[in-house]
Structure 1
Amino acid sequence: MKVFTIGFTKTSAESFFSRLQKAGVNKVLDVRLNNVSQLAGFAKKDDLRYFLRAIGGIDYAHEPKLAPTQEMLDAYKKDGGDWSDYERRFLALMAERRIEETVPRSALEGACLLCSEDKPKHCHRRLVIEYLMQKWGNLEVQHL
């Protein structure tokens, strides 16, 4: 199964939507806790849903089960927390939520996990994919 990830900061709307179309993404799975972010005007949930459909015929869904808690996010982002601590806590949260059982594989087929971080290295979307690869196996991942 092929899965994609993408971030929307430090990019233009043109580059963002072009990368999704070129990759053949059929659905954007928004894994942000707060999907009404003002970080990029085109990435607010209702606007994003419209743009994805109008520009690329791409579906949109929000999946908060794949997002960190507000407490985790604040400890890392606002309080300057350590990435390894955030990673450990988020992996434990996914295990506690049993996302491998509660999020259907079909929800990720041809989907692109969306978060704000421009690169996947320090983004929870990468952790979601790596966790699911361990649980499900055979995921082909492309970071756009």
Structure 2
Amino acid sequence: MTVNMATIGFTKTNASGFFERIRSSGIKKVVDVRLHNTSQLAGFAKADDLAYFLKEICGVQYVHQPLLAPTDDILKAYKKDKGDWGVYEGKFLGLMADRKIENRLKPEMFDETCLLCSEPTPHQCHRRLVCEYLNTKWGGSLNVKHL
């Protein structure tokens, strides 16, 4: 089974650009993979507001899934302390392995789903790492598009 999914970041974009990318992608659900979903980085991205906007503008369900987020310690070491991406990546991959996310989730849960995080691009963002990790564990069943 091939699962079509996407990822998106909300910083360095405005609300119209963000919601239009979601709407035109054909996804049915946004899974917020931020640890803290009340960010002030973009006013439209706070949990309650985001759930409302996604439903009303795009007809899309919103789910917060902190199981797919780094811990506060991992985040702080990278963001606040300006840590090395390679160290962050290694720690986060280890965290996903420790959590055994591939056993707690199923590929079909991600069909027509978009993982949301704050980073504008997937290159140095944990949403990409989640997709790559799960794709390795699930035999390449995820077809991922970065919006």
Report TM bin, short chain.
Answer: over 0.9
Residue of structure 2 in register with 1:51 after alignment: 53
Which residue of 2 is the match for residue 140 of structure 1?
143
User: Superposition pairs for residues 56-71 of structure 1, below 5 Å?
Assistant: 56-71=58-73
**Cα RMSD after superposing both structures:** 0.6
The answer to whether the Cα contact below 8 Å between 2:29 and 2:113 also exists between their aligned partners in 1 is yes
Q: Which amino acid aligns with 2:31?
A: L
Stretches of structure 1 that go unaligned for 5 or more consecutive residues are: none
In structure 2, distance between residues paired with 1:42 and 1:104: 29
TM-score by length of 1: 0.98
Q: Secondary structure at the match of 1:49?
A: helix
CA distance in 1, matches of 2:83, 2:58: 37
Q: Cα distance, 1:107 vs. partner?
A: 2.3
Report the CA distance between 1:105 and its aligned residue.
Answer: 2.3
1:122 is aligned, of 103, 121, 124, to 124
SS at match of 1:33: coil
Q: Paired residue for 2:114?
A: 112
> What runs of 5+ residues in structure 2 fail to find an aligned partner?
none
Please report how far the alpha carbon of residue 59 of structure 1 lies from its aligned counterpart in structure 2 after TM superposition: 0.2
- The CA distance in 2 between the partners of 1:4 and 1:71, in whole Å, is 27
DSSP-derived class of the 2:123 partner: coil
Give, in whole Å, the separation in 2 of the partners of 1:22 and 1:43: 18
Contact 2:107 2:141 in 1 (8 A): no
What's the TM-score once normalised by structure 2's chain length?
Answer: 0.96
